[in-house]
Chain A
């Protein structure tokens, strides 16, 4: 099983749609969870950290399910500018230094 697994997509949605991505991770001892966003040929940028109780930042909502070892990201009212690759990131078991990146889920928002 991959350490961090994501559906590569692409998810092709119209503006205004709600879209959800899931990510599964293999190490039950992982403690840090993030969603990063990466535009084509650019660096990853933090979208949001994911907390156990779930958290929301504007149109974005992240959830963590430790029992099932998955993380989700919900984007409401999609904008054209949301088109990007969304990276699920988890710290390596027994390591605070090393973050493991998923391969990313590509989102295309069309007019």
Chain B
């Protein structure tokens, strides 16, 4: 079964440091997403990406966040200057379509970010 892969599985960083989280979406999927889940809270949308540009972003996705598809396979989330409150599980997801009812997301296993 095709899967979304994410690295690293866990990253510990100091406040103020830059972090890059990497994702390899499913190969025939065209839409890519980052979601995050703070421990004990719900899954929250960060950003969606299509055709090499951001298609939508949430209010959480401020100037310290950026996404990139540097090559044909990777999709990255960069956090420029991490804050304590950025500690969370970050999930990458991809979908084949955005058509209603068919916009099923397949999630990666997540990257746990701990900011000290």
Contact = CB atoms under 8 A, between A and B. Distances in A.
A71 B80 CA distance: 39
Most buried by A among B43, B89, B98, B101: B43
A102 B42 contact: yes
Interface residues of B, number: 27
Interface stretch (A10-18, A38-46, A73-81): A38-46
Main secondary structure of the interface of A (DSSP, over half): loop
B107 A96 contact: no
A102 B45 CA distance: 12
Interface of A: 31-32, 34, 38, 41-46, 49, 51, 87, 91-92, 95-104
Nearest to B54: A97
Which 6 A-B pairs have CB atoms at the shortest separation, nearest pair first?
A97-B48, A43-B107, A96-B98, A31-B100, A101-B43, A97-B56
